[in-house]
Chain A
Amino acid sequence: ILNVEQSPQSLHVQEGDSTNFTCSFPSSNFYALHWYRWETAKSPEALFVMTLNGDEKKKGRISATLNTKEGYSYLYIKGSQPEDSATYLCAALTGGFKTIFGAGTRLFVKA
């Protein structure tokens, strides 16, 4: 079973701080890496789907990078806002099309 690890488990930051999280996954048989944003009482929503080593994607103040050779991805949030408070999930897609999720990083942004 593919093991996807995320760190830290939770993070408290002040409004305006920039922050980043890590997702690590086995680099063999890699197919794709997803990032999702999950607000309380809602469903997870996709932020990024990344497939190529060296990929870098950006959506507003949020960006992500991917290193498939060493098996990690970083998610960055620039100038955190209270509305960024959520759980950020990463998921690795194997060649068998199973999508295996990490436990998530819970972000709290204080105004």
Chain B
Amino acid sequence: NAGVTQTPKFRVLKTGQSMTLLCAQDMNHEYMYWYRQDPGMGLRLIHYSVGEGTTAKGEVPDGYNVSRLKKQNFLLGLESAAPSQTSVYFCASSYATARTGELFFGEGSRLTVL
């Protein structure tokens, strides 16, 4: 079972370049999330989606855009990468209903912006 798959796993960018991280889930989950993980700061929510065609801002949305054109995919875009966006990015998904809400995570994508 694939679960949540992120691509690419690693990427090095120069300041000002753009890129897109792809998250795909095969569990028919309604909710999808993008987090970034920085040392000592835990996981911070960038953007999330409660269903196909909908997105919402999380804690740290600036500098990122997202799209959820298909239920199984959630894309995170950096239009003009900055060194402050060097981080490990995690995608997660969860069931729509309520009280379970358990998140299933991808393996992470390590991004370095020079």
Indicate if the CB atoms of B90 and A99 lie closer than 8 Å. Answer: no
Please give me the residue from chain B that is nearest to A93 by CB atom: B101
Enumerate chain B interface residues (CB-CB to A < 8 A).
4, 31, 33, 35, 40-45, 48, 50, 58-59, 90, 94, 98-108
Question: What separation, in Å, do the CA atoms of A44 and B102 have in the docked complex?
Answer: 11
Q: Which of A32, A36, A43, A102 makes the CB contact (< 8 A) with B106?
A: A43
Known: A43-B108, A44-B105, A100-B59. A32 touches B42 (CB 8 A): no
Residues of B within 8 A of A111 (CB): none
A6-48 residues with Cβ-Cβ distance < 8 A to B are 31-32, 34, 36, 42-46
> Is A62 at the interface (CB under 8 A from chain B)?
no
Q: Looking at chain A, what size class is its interface with the partner chain?
A: 20 to 34
B10 CB → nearest A CB, Å: 13
Question: What separation, in Å, do the CA atoms of A36 and B99 have in the docked complex?
Answer: 16
Question: What separation, in Å, do the CA atoms of A31 and B101 have in the docked complex?
Answer: 10
Indicate if the CB atoms of B101 and A49 lie closer than 8 Å. Answer: yes
B94 CB → nearest A CB, Å: 8
Known: A98-B48, A99-B33. A1 touches B59 (CB 8 A): yes
Question: What separation, in Å, do the CA atoms of A9 and B35 have in the docked complex?
Answer: 20
Please give me the residue from chain A that is nearest to B94 by CB atom: A99
Cross-chain pairs A/B with CB under 8 angstroms, 7 sampled: A32-B99, A44-B43, A44-B105, A46-B104, A89-B43, A98-B58, A99-B33
Please give me the residue from chain A that is nearest to B35 by CB atom: A101
> Is A109 at the interface (CB under 8 A from chain B)?
no
Q: Which of A32, A36, A100, A103 makes the CB contact (< 8 A) with B101?
A: A32
Contact with B along A70-101 (1 / 0, CB 8 A): 00000000000000000001010100011111
